[in-house]
Structure 1
Amino acid sequence: MTTSDVTTGDVTADDDLLVVEDLRVSFPGKGWRAPSNDVLDGVSLTIRPGETLGMVGESGSGKTTIGRAILGLVPVRSGAITFAGERIERATAKRRRALSKDIQVVFQDPLTSLNPSLTIGDTLSEPLLAQGYGRGEARERVGDLLDRVRLPSDAAGRLPREFSGGQRQRVAIARALAIGPKLIVCDEPVSALDLTTQKTVLDLLLEIQEQTGVSYLFVSHDLAVIRFMSHRVAVIHHGEIVETGGADEVTASPRHPYTRRLLLSAPVADVAEQRARREAFERARPR
């Protein structure tokens, strides 16, 4: 039986929705005969229905690559990705298109992921029409989606450039929700937004999860955001997960030295505390 022959089964609250086992991803080196670059080195994780797993690490740690591997956007060298009981790491292009109903993504910069020449209504209608909705059904669903992400109904007739960054991100969230996915990969979805807008978008994601039961893989370099959003946290460093646990435990009392350095480097409002943290961070850095 090939991957494309397998259909996604039902997943109960007691099952893992997503299981990643010993995942390894390598990219070709630059230049002729250059060695490959190992980006992920034996990553394993699970996500249950209705759960948010926060993936945190510095730039270049491999956290975004995990999400892209789950989405089928990068080739997997070895390991297994199982979604709702189905192995998907080598799914065919046809099967990937079908899987998009259950696995969606919200990228960091919504402007680059929204077609500037399409109205918001057309952008939100595209995945619905592709899944067999009639045009009338699609229009009604678009109205529901705009209401859910708190955008006015007349937004459907406007272009992406007419919205603020936070509003565009809400459009991206609405598009991800359009066909009722089970899992959304959120790849730094608020890092380009100001703090007030960040809070609005994060609250919206939490509200949607409570209403729909969708699961999130939430990728961020910001421990404060990860703490706010996540049930569990996985810390990644140089392509390996070095610590996992409950969000409060990992972000307040980390065990691994790298996680402690991440916590010490996180900015705080109090100047004296920030100075003390910076000094502690310098002491904790490997020599």
Structure 2
Amino acid sequence: MTMRGTLPDRCGTFTIGGHAITRLGLGTAQMSASGVWSHPKDAAEAARVLQEAIDLGVNLIDVAESSGPFDYEELIVRALSPFPEDLLLMIKGGLLRSPEGQWEPVPRPSFLRKQIETRLWYLKLNRVPLFQLHGFSPNAPIADQIGLLTDMQREGKIGQIGLAEVTLAELEEARKYAEIATVQAEYNLINRAADPLLDYAEAANIGFIPWLPLATGALASQDGPLAEMARRRSVTPAQLALAWLLKRSPAMLPTPGTLSLQHLNDNVSAVDIPLTATEVGDLDRLTAEP
């Protein structure tokens, strides 16, 4: 693959809150020691991955409360502070973890406020650049939950508002009360159930962040559905899966996670893989449900 120009030149950008964001970002979930709600497996290596991502031109980093109890906010501060001016930190919250390890939506908007303010404290920031609400609580009207976020916007504590794990109807309802910058849902070559949400987001100029872009590694496997085509193209299966996502929509903003510098560089190189219409069709058929 021939790499020409900076990462924004190579993969394109998507504008969020007036800032041009690289269409390939970095997630932190795969840095966990146990896959969820755990400290980073190797904090020093995680810091190197974060720093390398910035050096490569990535300026969208995704961190969720469900990865761990503030370990990742502290990691990001240690690795990247002072933050680059063009960096967009996407912080996802809105859930509470029970002693049994179950996740439930916060019971009241006031809990959400406390959660956001605590994340700000750990990040040593006055404002969350992009806050994504991790689903709506059934205990309060959508208007009240979005209202809390718009209140915090006016206070300067939130820059942009995003939503994760919501239905199309919920997204449409939320847009009655606030400008929604991004939406996140599980989406990859194997699982395309969120196609209607993606198409709506693209039409409304809302960034779409695919959760599990590599289907928890199934699409990256050397004996998976993309392996043969990857060998023919002299690329990795993961690179093909990411190239397909970037081709699928200009609103697509994958944030694959890794604790490997090699995988990070491989992921970023996926932006340089051109796919023909025939190849896109072949990929669609390879991964289509029977």
The TM-score, its normalising length taken from structure 1, stands at 0.33
The TM-score, its normalising length taken from structure 2, stands at 0.33
Higher relative contact order (CA 8 A, sep 6+): 1
Task: Indicate the structure (1 or 2) with the bigger Cα radius of gyration.
Answer: 1
